[in-house]
Structure 1
């Protein structure tokens, strides 16, 4: 299983500091594809940092295994 540290490293590749709404949706979509998970609308809207995305993705990956 991929570690939270590795997930954060991967997310940072996608994350930019100034995201408009379209870029943010693209970020969410790219992360879902990369990690093969689906974020709910609530998760996508509350994930406003690398740490929050990593926490959500780790939780979803644990459920899958």
Structure 2
């Protein structure tokens, strides 16, 4: 049970980081490509972890 909780929390942290980086990309046009790249990586990782957590719940 504790492992599932850690995976869920980690997935939400990745999703929140991805959104935060997307906002940072809007505010800093000079570094936007870097922020957008890492934002996408964090969002994909967060969704993958969330999918894994949902798979383990069933």
User: Is TM > 0.5 for Structure 1 vs Structure 2?
Assistant: no
Which structure: larger Rg?
A: 2
TM-score range, shorter chain: 0.3 to 0.5
- Bigger fraction of residues in helix: 2
